[in-house]
Structure 1
Amino acid sequence: MDRLTGLFCDRALLPDGWAGDVALRFDAQGALAAVEVGAAAGDLPRAAGPVIPGMPNLHSHAFQRAMAGLAERAGPSEDSFWTWREAMYGFVRRLTPDAAEAIAALLYMEMLKQGYTAVAEFHYLHHDTDGRPYADRAEMSRRILAAADTAGIGLTHLPVLYAHSGFGGRPPSDGQRRFINDVDGLLSIVAAMRGALDGRAGRRVGLALHSLRAVTPEEMRDALAGLEAIAPGAPIHIHIAEQTAEVDDCVAWSGRRPVEWLLDNAPVDGRWCLVHATHLTGTEVTGLAATGAVAGLCPTTEANLGDGLFPAVPFLAQGGRFGVGSDSHISVSAAEELRILEYGQRLVQRRRNVLRAGPGASIGSGLYQAAVAGGARALGQPAVEGGIRVGQPADLVVLDADNPKLLARRDDSLLDAYVFAGDGHAVRDVIAAGRPVVRDGRHLREDAITAAYRRALAALGEAA
Structure 2
Amino acid sequence: MNQIFAADALLPTGWARNVLIAWDGAGRIAQVAPGATAPAGVPTAAGPVIPGMPNLHSHAFQRAFAGLTEYRGQAEDSFWSWRNLMYRFAQRITPESLEAIATWLYIEMLEAGYTSVCEFHYVHHDTDGRPYADDATLSLALLRAARTAGIAITLLPVLYQTSGFGGKPPRADQVRFIRSTDNMLSLLERLAPAVQAQGAVLGLAPHSLRAVPPDSLAAAVQGLTALNPQAPIHIHIAEQTQEVDDCIAWSGQRPVQWLLNHAPVDERWCLVHATHMTPDEYAGAARTGAVAGICPTTEANLGDGIFDMPLWLQQGGRWGVGSDSHACVNAAEELLMLEYGQRLSRRQRNVLASRSQPEVATAMALQAVQGGAQASGRWGAGAAAGIAVGQSADWVVLDAQHVALRSLPAPAMLSAHVFASHRTSAIDSVWVGGARRVAQGRHALHDSAASAFATARASTFAPD
> TM-score, length-normalised on structure 2?
0.96
- Mapped partners of 1:285, 1:316: distance in 2: 9
Contact 1:368–1:386 (8 Å) recurs in 2: no
- Deviation, structure 1 residue 118: 0.2
Alignment correspondent of 2:298: 301
Tell me the secondary structure at the aligned position of residue 322 of structure 1: strand
Alignment correspondent of 2:139: 141
Contact 2:319–2:367 (8 Å) recurs in 1: yes
Match of 1:288 among 279, 285, 288: 285
- The alignment covers a number of residue pairs equal to 459
- Mapped partners of 1:385, 1:441: distance in 2: 21
Alignment correspondent of 1:14: 11
- Deviation, structure 1 residue 20: 2.3
Residue 260 (structure 2) pairs with residue 263 (structure 1): yes
Q: Which amino acid aligns with 1:304?
A: N
Segment of structure 1 superposing worse, 61-70 or 230-239 = 230-239
Q: Which amino acid aligns with 1:455?
A: T
Alignment correspondent of 1:122: 120
Q: Which amino acid aligns with 1:456?
A: A
- Deviation, structure 1 residue 301: 0.2
- Mapped partners of 2:162, 2:39: distance in 1: 57
Alignment correspondent of 2:440: 440
Residue 54 (structure 2) pairs with residue 56 (structure 1): yes
- Deviation, structure 1 residue 257: 0.1
Alignment correspondent of 2:190: 192
Contact 1:16–1:387 (8 Å) recurs in 2: no
Match of 1:310 among 302, 307, 312: 307
Alignment correspondent of 1:207: 204
- Mapped partners of 1:385, 1:161: distance in 2: 26
- Mapped partners of 2:44, 2:145: distance in 1: 29
1:85-136, CA deviations, whole angstroms, 9 ceiling, x for partnerless residues? 0000111111110000000000000000000000000000100011111111
Contact 2:384–2:394 (8 Å) recurs in 1: no
Tell me the secondary structure at the aligned position of residue 380 of structure 1: coil
Alignment correspondent of 1:100: 98
Match of 2:231 among 226, 234, 259: 234
Give unmatched runs, 5+ long, in structure 1: none
Contact 1:335–1:422 (8 Å) recurs in 2: no
- Deviation, structure 1 residue 455: 2.3
Alignment correspondent of 1:167: 165
Contact 1:369–1:385 (8 Å) recurs in 2: no
Contact 1:382–1:391 (8 Å) recurs in 2: no
Q: 1:199 to 1:461 in 2, by over 3 A?
A: closer
Alignment correspondent of 1:415: 414
> TM-score, length-normalised on structure 1?
0.96
Match of 1:216 among 179, 189, 213: 213
1:157-199, CA deviations, whole angstroms, 9 ceiling, x for partnerless residues? 0000001100111100011111110111111221122111115
Residue 327 (structure 2) pairs with residue 330 (structure 1): yes
- Mapped partners of 1:131, 1:386: distance in 2: 39
1:362-377 equivalence runs, <5 A = 362-377=359-374
Alignment correspondent of 2:391: 392
Alignment correspondent of 1:91: 89
- Deviation, structure 1 residue 387: 4.1
- Mapped partners of 1:322, 1:415: distance in 2: 20
Match of 1:67 among 65, 68, 71: 65
Aligned-residue RMSD, C-alpha:
1.5
Alignment correspondent of 1:182: 180
Tell me the secondary structure at the aligned position of residue 129 of structure 2: coil
- Mapped partners of 2:43, 2:462: distance in 1: 43
Alignment correspondent of 2:222: 225
- Deviation, structure 1 residue 421: 1.4
Contact 1:68–1:328 (8 Å) recurs in 2: yes
Q: 1:272 to 1:129 in 2, by over 3 A?
A: same
Alignment correspondent of 1:5: 2
Match of 1:245 among 220, 233, 242: 242
Q: Which amino acid aligns with 2:300?
A: A
- Mapped partners of 2:47, 2:411: distance in 1: 14
Segment of structure 1 superposing worse, 325-334 or 443-452 = 443-452
Q: Which amino acid aligns with 1:432?
A: V
- Deviation, structure 1 residue 386: 6.2
Q: 1:185 to 1:373 in 2, by over 3 A?
A: same
Residue 367 (structure 2) pairs with residue 343 (structure 1): no
Q: 1:461 to 1:398 in 2, by over 3 A?
A: same
Alignment correspondent of 2:77: 79
- Deviation, structure 1 residue 360: 6.8
Alignment correspondent of 2:130: 132
Q: Which amino acid aligns with 2:134?
A: D
Q: 1:242 to 1:206 in 2, by over 3 A?
A: same
Q: 1:198 to 1:360 in 2, by over 3 A?
A: closer
Tell me the secondary structure at the aligned position of residue 28 of structure 1: coil
Percent of residue pairs bearing the same amino acid type? 55
Contact 2:244–2:255 (8 Å) recurs in 1: yes
- Deviation, structure 1 residue 457: 2.1
Tell me the secondary structure at the aligned position of residue 252 of structure 1: helix
Alignment correspondent of 2:376: 379
- Mapped partners of 1:154, 1:198: distance in 2: 12
- Mapped partners of 1:76, 1:240: distance in 2: 26
- Deviation, structure 1 residue 306: 0.2
Match of 2:43 among 33, 45, 65: 45
- Mapped partners of 1:356, 1:386: distance in 2: 20
Q: Which amino acid aligns with 2:362?
A: S
Alignment correspondent of 2:316: 319
Contact 2:12–2:387 (8 Å) recurs in 1: yes
1:287-334, CA deviations, whole angstroms, 9 ceiling, x for partnerless residues? 011111000000000000000001111111111100000000000011
Contact 1:430–1:436 (8 Å) recurs in 2: yes
1:22-37 equivalence runs, <5 A = 22-37=19-34
Give unmatched runs, 5+ long, in structure 2: none
Q: Which amino acid aligns with 1:341?
A: L
Segment of structure 1 superposing worse, 441-450 or 357-366 = 357-366
1:42-90, CA deviations, whole angstroms, 9 ceiling, x for partnerless residues? 3333222111110000000000000000100111220000000000011
Q: Which amino acid aligns with 2:152?
A: G
- Mapped partners of 2:112, 2:39: distance in 1: 27
